[in-house]
């Protein structure tokens, strides 16, 4: 087996607050079947090298239901359209760590870093 075939990227996330949250990752695998994975804070998802159409998003628990984390411009320090979920889309696998922060009901992605811990400018 070729070691390059097993190469995987890793998408991780950290929640800096005490509220419940989760990350979801969806992608098309080598057979074009859709895969969907959900993990809790401090966890990561391995993405196969052949994966495409990768979608990363986050949900926070508010009272009795899960709600999408809304899109926030952390560079300009402002919210995008009201109610717009913050989804990150990639054509090919990446290794990033997403950090969530903010008060309850104002959760947002506060930082995205690569495997060298350099901040990445994604909105």
Distances (CA, A) of 68 to 45, 54, 62, 92, 117: 19, 17, 10, 23, 26
pLDDT at 5 (0 to 100): 52
pLDDT at 31 over 90: no
Domain that holds residue 60: 3-114
Residue 29 sits at φ, ψ, to 5 deg, of -85, -170
Q: What is the largest CA-CA distance in the chain?
A: 49
pLDDT at 1 (0 to 100): 44
Q: How many domains does the chain have?
A: 1
Residue 120 lies in a domain: no
Residue 122 lies in a domain: no
- 117 exposure class (CB count in 10 Å sphere: 0-12, 13-18, 19+): exposed
pLDDT at 74 over 90: no
**Number of neighbouring beta carbons within 10 Å of residue 101:** 16
Residue 108 lies in a domain: yes
Rounded-to-integer distance, Cα 75 and Cα 7, Å: 32
Distances (CA, A) of 113 to 4, 96, 104, 109: 24, 6, 23, 11
Residue 119 lies in a domain: no
pLDDT at 30 over 50: yes
Taken as a whole, the chain contains a residue count of 123
Residue 41 belongs to domain with CATH number: 2.60.40
pLDDT at 3 over 60: no
């Amino acid at each position: 087996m070729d070691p390059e075939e097993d190469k995987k990227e890793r998408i991780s996330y950290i929640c800096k607050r005490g509220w419940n949250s989760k990350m979801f990752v969806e992608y098309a695998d080598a057979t074009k079947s859709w895969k969907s994975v959900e993990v809790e804070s401090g966890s990561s998802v391995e993405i196969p090298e052949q994966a495409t159409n990768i979608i990363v998003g986050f949900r926070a628990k508010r009272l009795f239901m899960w709600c999408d984390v809304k899109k926030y411009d952390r560079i300009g320090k402002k919210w995008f359209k009201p109610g717009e979920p913050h989804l990150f889309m990639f054509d090919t696998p990446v290794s990033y760590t997403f950090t969530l922060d903010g008060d309850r009901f104002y959760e947002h992605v506060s930082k995205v870093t690569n495997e060298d811990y350099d901040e990445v400018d994604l909105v």
